[in-house]
Structure 1
């Protein structure tokens, strides 16, 4: 049985869609607010979501990443009366199936529903792929699972892939995983850091050179493009590639041949390109620092790697695995990892991502010496100090009037009473500071509109005006 979730505050639209779904033989549930939609989605499995953007307690777009990010993510059709092209663009960016504008005719909504569910059936009926060779990628979080799905898609084709993400997120590991799971796995995987190559040697390194073509060229040398022939060339930090080299490299991708510096003959090459960067290449294009035509060539597919702070549930597994690997590398007995250390590591934001975490674990092992178990005391001092940032608050004498707004006559509150009063007082002050502007309130609090409206409803506080 197909299950559909209708999210719309317009009762006439809900009635129309529910009658249509009945005729099509599908089961459905209806939510008129973002909060109700989240509750239904968390407690039921849906094949399709019909999502209105303008909800009384928030923007439907705030719900979209939650829907499309789920393991068995439903297909999503946006139904909106605003005609907002920017909203449509964001919807498609997050993987929505289609965008239907109100008012609509029967065929204008029934056909997208039929097509979306046909696609979903074909997708679910497709035999499971052979498990990926992970090449050292650790983690089971939803964020990493989505990236691994994209790796599988990339490995099945020869399309150029752009891997993006902050420094230290594992771009080379994912690039290697694409290669190892592709038909080119038995051929070379050549990785080069464009930012580390001296500019005067960059083109020679990539394209090769003939003997005597420049000072110091004592012999003929094949470039990395020729060395990667038949396999995969990974260009790390491709955003650092100078414009002159970009032009030459673009020609190589188009013509599939290389002319070494000082050479007269072109050498055919068959390579699969995987590029990686932590820079915003679209912004580099606007600044005139990166060729737009080259960006089109290298971004046939894109895999965006999440920062470690967005996949904290993977930190424990990464820590245990890396401690074991480092112990083996240093030929020392494997050490136990205390829950206290894992708590500290999980709470840290890790601006340097996995690379920073591994460096810290290296320090922890050295600091522990012969100790059999790793504790927070083995961390570098600056990481231990980060735990103490909020301790002065805990050391202050409890004052019910200032902390939670309780009268002395009420006695000491329960934890739930204390938490609810603090939450309510925070929201009241937030409304005051944001001057009843919902965007400002979300920016100050760091929470989504749907979450904010849910909290306001919970505490019976007024919402926002038309700002």
Structure 2
């Protein structure tokens, strides 16, 4: 798959070389190391999309490496390799953030399937980095709508009812789901997220329900699904409006009967978990159009929660700015900067069509580019200074991702295709830039 970079951490030389040949033959760029310390150094200095690590390695083992990777860059997909005897450890690794596990001895097709599944998820992550901040730091509640939202979160957290979160892209729907989980009795159990729009129907089905050995071509061993891994905790299904009728029916059964079957299995397994979903679509309209099951809609919509766009809660902007300035300054190892009155006024008056995610990206860019301790109006992008962007940005009907895509394209052009300089202009890492390039389908022929 073009553009995907894989890091292999495996101390068995023959196995590492085999994996290297397999992935290179299938169009992936690879790095191969024999210990966790070297793997972590590469993650910190190079653009890596997927890490495949053995659990048992001398020095920094696979579990410790997983923790370090997720602390460094939570968007990297991690696959762990394990012998059958260590299967429980592999399942624990998934609950700690690993995408999947590969059981030794493995079949080549099984490995490729796991990698292809992870590659599909590159660039389809949460609305913004919920791993950087605690929910309370980002769910700022100075505006009436956010104050009401926080009270509602506290009320519903103790219940077991399904929750459906509505809101535009970038408003923080996943953070709301995580806050509900953190305040619930399930907080000590897994919080598992699934982006339903990132995978095609067949892969999403196996991702959710798991499968038995022989369930289909390539099912070489039993694989646990996300429902099973979330048992006892909470599963968050993002972009629920995109699931197919087949998945809708199966999800309805999970919610109604609290049980499921793995693909190819005959045993019905009980489930004890809370289902939280989110969408930026109008599910009621999809029901009328016969694109979404009415019975599932009412099951999911027991407690609807709407997160207001940032333009409707401007009282929250200044505190969010302060939070993001503090975090961006820490990440970039620069002194904390202050906003001039003129810069603050421009940021408060901008309509933020990309919501909190756009705000975070702009702050990161400003922190890197601004050389003075005070952020002046001249340090802001022109479309924020003027309040317009060729007449498009302040049109609320424009898809919110267009703003970010235009900023990225302009930075790449201004840097003449040099990705390091473009990332510096944007105030993000090269890894983040490459993910956004993949997300928006930006032509990478100019990359150097």
Give the alignment partner of residue 220 of structure 1, picking from 219, 222, 232: 222
Q: Distance in 1 between the 2:139 and 2:221 partners?
A: 40
Aligned pairs for 1:349-428 within 5 A? 349-368=351-370, 370-386=371-387
Deviations 1:85-134 (A, max 9, x none): xxxxxxxxxxxxxxxxxxxxxxxxxxxxxxxxxxxxxxxxxxxxxxx972
Deviation (angstroms), 1:156: 1.8
**Paired residue for 2:20?**
none
Aligned pairs for 1:113-124 within 5 A? none
Give the alignment partner of residue 170 of structure 1, picking from 157, 169, 172: 172
Q: Distance in 1 between the 2:137 and 2:345 partners?
A: 27
- Structure-2-length-normalised TM-score: 0.55
**Paired residue for 2:254?**
252
**Paired residue for 1:321?**
323
Contact 2:137 2:323 in 1 (8 A): no
Deviation (angstroms), 1:141: 1.2
Give the alignment partner of residue 287 of structure 1, picking from 281, 284, 289: 289
**Paired residue for 1:264?**
266
Q: Distance in 2 between the 1:139 and 1:374 partners?
A: 25
Deviation (angstroms), 1:384: 2.5
**Paired residue for 1:144?**
146
Gaps of 5+ in 2: 1-133, 392-448
Deviation (angstroms), 1:167: 1.1
Contact 1:208 1:261 in 2 (8 A): yes
Q: Distance in 2 between the 1:388 and 1:230 partners?
A: 48
Contact 2:135 2:175 in 1 (8 A): no
Whether 1:205 and 2:207 are equivalent positions in the alignment is yes
Q: Distance in 1 between the 2:312 and 2:288 partners?
A: 29
Q: Distance in 1 between the 2:390 and 2:243 partners?
A: 41
Deviation (angstroms), 1:330: 1.9
Contact 1:363 1:380 in 2 (8 A): no
Aligned pairs for 1:83-98 within 5 A? none
- Structure-1-length-normalised TM-score: 0.53
CA-atom RMSD in angstroms: 1.9
Q: Distance in 2 between the 1:365 and 1:155 partners?
A: 36
Q: Could you list the structure 1 runs, at least 4 aligned residues long, displaced by more than 6 angstroms after superposition.
A: 387-390
Contact 2:135 2:178 in 1 (8 A): no
**Paired residue for 1:18?**
none
Contact 1:161 1:302 in 2 (8 A): yes
Give the alignment partner of residue 181 of structure 1, picking from 164, 174, 183: 183
| Rg larger in structure | 1
Contact 1:308 1:350 in 2 (8 A): yes
3-state DSSP class of the match of 2:272?
coil
Deviation (angstroms), 1:318: 0.4
Q: Distance in 2 between the 1:135 and 1:175 partners?
A: 15
The total of aligned residue pairs comes to 258
Deviations 1:235-277 (A, max 9, x none): 1110011111100111111121110111111111101011111
Deviation (angstroms), 1:381: 2.7
**Paired residue for 2:233?**
231
Q: Distance in 1 between the 2:277 and 2:353 partners?
A: 22
Q: Distance in 2 between the 1:134 and 1:321 partners?
A: 11
Contact 2:195 2:237 in 1 (8 A): yes
**Paired residue for 1:193?**
195
